[in-house]
Protein backbone atom coordinates (compact mmCIF):
# COMPACT_ATOMS: atom_id res chain seq x y z
CA UNK A 1 0.00 0.00 0.00
CA UNK A 2 1.67 3.27 -1.06
CA UNK A 3 -0.51 5.13 1.46
CA UNK A 4 1.05 3.20 4.33
CA UNK A 5 4.42 4.65 3.32
CA UNK A 6 3.35 7.94 4.89
CA UNK A 7 4.18 6.60 8.37
CA UNK A 8 7.96 6.34 7.91
CA UNK A 9 7.96 9.61 5.94
CA UNK A 10 6.28 11.42 8.82
CA UNK A 11 8.67 9.81 11.30
CA UNK A 12 11.71 10.89 9.28
CA UNK A 13 10.32 14.44 9.33
CA UNK A 14 10.22 14.31 13.13
CA UNK A 15 6.62 13.30 13.85
CA UNK A 16 5.51 10.71 16.36
CA UNK A 17 3.23 8.24 14.56
CA UNK A 18 1.01 5.58 16.10
CA UNK A 19 -1.35 3.15 14.39
CA UNK A 20 -4.30 2.52 16.72
CA UNK A 21 -6.74 -0.36 16.28
CA UNK A 22 -10.33 0.84 16.09
CA UNK A 23 -12.49 -2.25 15.65
CA UNK A 24 -12.04 -3.56 12.12
CA UNK A 25 -10.13 -0.44 11.05
CA UNK A 26 -7.16 1.57 12.24
CA UNK A 27 -6.64 5.22 13.08
CA UNK A 28 -3.34 6.94 12.43
CA UNK A 29 -2.42 9.34 15.22
CA UNK A 30 0.27 11.83 14.28
CA UNK A 31 1.88 14.26 16.69
CA UNK A 32 4.02 16.90 15.08
CA UNK A 33 7.32 18.13 16.43
CA UNK A 34 8.04 21.75 17.36
CA UNK A 35 9.92 22.01 14.06
CA UNK A 36 9.21 19.74 11.11
CA UNK A 37 12.35 18.48 9.36
CA UNK A 38 12.71 18.47 5.60
CA UNK A 39 13.21 15.23 3.68
CA UNK A 40 15.18 13.99 0.68
CA UNK A 41 13.18 11.15 -0.84
CA UNK A 42 12.74 9.25 -4.10
CA UNK A 43 8.98 9.10 -4.52
CA UNK A 44 8.88 7.19 -7.81
CA UNK A 45 6.86 4.32 -6.29
CA UNK A 46 4.63 6.56 -4.19
CA UNK A 47 3.97 9.54 -6.45
CA UNK A 48 0.38 9.98 -5.28
CA UNK A 49 1.75 11.02 -1.89
CA UNK A 50 3.86 13.80 -3.42
CA UNK A 51 1.37 16.66 -2.92
CA UNK A 52 0.99 15.68 0.75
CA UNK A 53 4.74 15.42 1.30
CA UNK A 54 5.33 18.68 -0.62
CA UNK A 55 2.83 20.43 1.66
CA UNK A 56 4.64 19.12 4.73
CA UNK A 57 7.99 20.07 3.21
CA UNK A 58 6.74 23.63 2.71
CA UNK A 59 6.18 23.76 6.48
CA UNK A 60 9.59 22.28 7.37
CA UNK A 61 12.54 24.18 8.80
CA UNK A 62 15.13 22.44 6.60
CA UNK A 63 15.18 21.87 2.85
CA UNK A 64 13.46 19.02 1.06
CA UNK A 65 14.03 17.32 -2.27
CA UNK A 66 11.30 15.10 -3.73
CA UNK A 67 12.53 13.17 -6.76
CA UNK A 68 11.37 10.44 -9.12
CA UNK A 69 8.06 12.17 -9.82
CA UNK A 70 8.38 13.66 -13.30
CA UNK A 71 5.31 11.60 -14.24
CA UNK A 72 3.15 13.89 -12.06
CA UNK A 73 3.14 16.37 -14.91
CA UNK A 74 0.52 14.16 -16.59
CA UNK A 75 -2.08 13.76 -13.82
CA UNK A 76 -5.35 15.68 -13.32
CA UNK A 77 -3.13 18.73 -13.58
CA UNK A 78 0.61 19.19 -13.96
CA UNK A 79 1.09 18.63 -10.24
CA UNK A 80 4.75 19.68 -10.17
CA UNK A 81 3.96 23.02 -11.77
CA UNK A 82 0.82 23.46 -9.65
CA UNK A 83 2.62 22.69 -6.37
CA UNK A 84 5.45 25.05 -7.27
CA UNK A 85 3.00 27.81 -8.18
CA UNK A 86 0.85 27.44 -5.07
CA UNK A 87 3.70 27.07 -2.57
CA UNK A 88 5.42 30.14 -4.02
CA UNK A 89 2.13 32.09 -4.14
CA UNK A 90 1.89 31.90 -0.33
CA UNK A 91 5.51 32.92 0.26
CA UNK A 92 7.26 29.56 -0.08
CA UNK A 93 10.44 28.72 -1.94
CA UNK A 94 9.75 25.84 -4.30
CA UNK A 95 11.70 25.08 -7.45
CA UNK A 96 10.57 22.58 -10.06
CA UNK A 97 13.28 20.06 -10.97
CA UNK A 98 13.40 17.83 -14.06
CA UNK A 99 12.16 14.93 -11.90
CA UNK A 100 10.69 16.56 -8.83
CA UNK A 101 10.68 19.49 -6.42
CA UNK A 102 13.20 21.33 -4.26
CA UNK A 103 11.56 23.11 -1.34
CA UNK A 104 13.41 25.47 0.99
CA UNK A 105 12.23 26.83 4.34
CA UNK A 106 10.24 30.06 4.14
CA UNK A 107 7.61 31.93 6.10
CA UNK A 108 4.25 31.13 4.54
CA UNK A 109 1.35 33.56 4.53
CA UNK A 110 -2.36 33.25 3.99
CA UNK A 111 -4.09 33.65 0.68
CA UNK A 112 -5.90 31.46 -1.81
CA UNK A 113 -4.58 27.98 -2.60
CA UNK A 114 -5.90 26.87 -5.98
CA UNK A 115 -6.84 23.19 -6.28
CA UNK A 116 -6.96 22.96 -10.09
CA UNK A 117 -9.99 20.64 -9.63
CA UNK A 118 -7.46 18.08 -8.33
CA UNK A 119 -8.28 16.31 -5.08
CA UNK A 120 -4.64 15.85 -4.09
CA UNK A 121 -3.88 19.54 -4.66
CA UNK A 122 -6.85 20.48 -2.46
CA UNK A 123 -5.63 18.12 0.25
CA UNK A 124 -2.14 19.65 0.09
CA UNK A 125 -3.65 23.09 0.59
CA UNK A 126 -5.72 21.82 3.50
CA UNK A 127 -2.59 20.47 5.22
CA UNK A 128 -0.83 23.81 4.91
CA UNK A 129 -4.01 25.54 6.07
CA UNK A 130 -3.81 23.69 9.38
CA UNK A 131 -0.69 25.74 10.17
CA UNK A 132 -0.91 28.89 8.06
CA UNK A 133 -3.61 31.34 9.11
CA UNK A 134 -6.05 32.74 6.58
CA UNK A 135 -5.34 30.17 3.88
CA UNK A 136 -8.43 29.53 1.79
CA UNK A 137 -8.48 26.36 -0.32
CA UNK A 138 -10.40 27.03 -3.52
CA UNK A 139 -12.73 24.16 -4.51
CA UNK A 140 -12.09 22.10 -1.35
CA UNK A 141 -15.07 19.91 -2.30
CA UNK A 142 -12.93 18.28 -5.01
CA UNK A 143 -11.52 16.14 -2.18
CA UNK A 144 -14.75 14.12 -2.31
CA UNK A 145 -13.15 12.05 -5.09
CA UNK A 146 -11.12 10.15 -2.49
CA UNK A 147 -12.54 11.40 0.82
CA UNK A 148 -16.31 12.00 0.78
CA UNK A 149 -17.25 14.35 3.60
CA UNK A 150 -13.80 15.94 3.86
CA UNK A 151 -15.19 19.42 3.25
CA UNK A 152 -17.36 19.18 6.41
CA UNK A 153 -14.50 17.80 8.50
CA UNK A 154 -12.25 20.58 7.23
CA UNK A 155 -14.81 23.24 8.22
CA UNK A 156 -15.10 21.71 11.71
CA UNK A 157 -11.32 21.77 12.17
CA UNK A 158 -10.55 25.25 10.87
CA UNK A 159 -13.92 26.93 10.29
Report the domain count for the chain. 1
The tens digit of pLDDT for each residue in 3-29 reads 689 999 999 999 999 989 999 998 889
Task: Say which CATH number the domain at 8 has.
Answer: 3.65.10.10
Q: Is 8 helix (H, G, I), strand (E, B) or coil?
A: helix
81 is known as an active-site residue: no
The residue ranking higher by pLDDT, 32 or 148, is 32
Q: Is 40 helix (H, G, I), strand (E, B) or coil?
A: strand
- Length of the chain in residues, anyone? 159
* From 42-46, 79-83, 153-157, the region with the lowest mean pLDDT: 153-157
| 45: Cα separation from own chain's centroid | 17
What does R_g of the chain's alpha carbons equal in angstroms?
Answer: 15
Indicate whether 64 pLDDT > 80.
yes
Active-site residue identified among 29, 34, 48, 138: 48
Question: What is the rounded distance in angstroms from the CA atom of residue 135 to the CA atom of residue 138?
Answer: 9
Domain, as residue range, for 19:
2-158
Amino acid sequence: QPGDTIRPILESMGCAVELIANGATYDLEVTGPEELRGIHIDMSDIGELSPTVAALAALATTESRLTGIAHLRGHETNRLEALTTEINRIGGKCTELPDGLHIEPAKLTGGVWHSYADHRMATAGAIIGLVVENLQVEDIQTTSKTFPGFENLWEEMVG
